[in-house]
Amino acid sequence: MTFLPGGELSPQLATMCLGVGLIFALICYLTTNLSPGGMITPGWMALAMVEDHLQAFVMVVMTVVTFLLMKVLQRIVILYGKRLFAAVVLLSVLLQVTAFLIIQRDVPLLFAHQTLGFVAPGLIAYQLIRQPKGATILATTVVSAATYGVVISGILTGLVPVT
């Protein structure tokens, strides 16, 4: 299901998603000391759900794959701090680009406007490595859902232009 005719994305919609997501992510971090998968992730997940729920599903699958591969890589290579962050995000981008190259011809709209979407699974996987897994999943889900709710409310009431 998509709310965007022809896959068009308005700059106002993208800005609202990221802005609302940042506000909710900051509130979550300040009240629970948990990062909901990074500061931009909830807004980007909400935007993906507005565009096409399948995009959000791809981000979730890529997060799981990135996390699992990083756990294997951490047994082989010493990774911590900035090197860990860079490795997780780079792996996520490589996985997303590989998936894009493999299935983009068959499902071109699946990766529409996914520049930041290539990075978001890495941000979530990084937080899954650093924080308790259950709490991170819960925080990311709740903050992304709240962002999605606000954005969809704005779209349905006509306050936010979709094209």
Domain-located, residue 163: no
Extract the tokens encoding 140.
């990311």
Q: Does residue 115 lie within any of the structural domains?
A: yes
Cβ-in-10-Å burial (0-12, 13-18, 19+) of 30 comes to exposed
pLDDT for the residue numbered 152: 93
Quote the CA–CA distance of 110 and 115 in Å, as a whole number. 12
Q: Which residue has the tokens 């981000």?
A: 59
Q: Indicate whether 75 pLDDT > 70.
A: yes
Tell me the average pLDDT of the chain.
87
Contact 157, 125 (CB under 8 A): no
| Mean predicted confidence (pLDDT) in 30-40 | 94
In a domain? residue 78:
yes
pTM: 0.86
Cα–Cα separations (whole angstroms), residue 120 to 18, 75, 85, 142: 12, 23, 12, 16
Number of domains in the chain: 1
Condensed to tens digits (0 to 9), the pLDDT of residues 3-30 reads: 554 556 678 888 889 999 999 999 999 9
Domain residues for 122?
9-156
117-142: pLDDT as tens digits: 688 899 999 999 999 999 999 999 99
Please indicate, yes or no, if residue 1 is contained in any of the structural domains.
no
Is it the case that residue 110 has pLDDT exceeding 60? no
Q: How far apart are the first and last CA of the chain?
A: 16
pLDDT at 56: 86
Does 108 reside within a domain? Answer: yes
Determine, yes or no, domain membership for 106.
yes
Residue 2 in this model has a pLDDT that exceeds 70: no
In three-state form (DSSP H/G/I as H, E/B as E, the rest C), the secondary structure along 9-55 is CCHHHHHHHHHHHHHHHHHHHHHHCCCCCCCCHHHHHHHHHHHCHHH
Q: Is the pLDDT of residue 149 over 80?
A: yes
More confident residue, 146 or 59: 146
Residue 140 lies in a domain: yes
The H or E element spanning position 84 is helix 81-103
CB 160 within 8 A of CB 84: no
Reported as half-sphere exposure (CB side, CA atoms, 13 A), residue 55 has a value of 25
Instruction: Tell me if 136 is assigned to some domain.
Output: yes
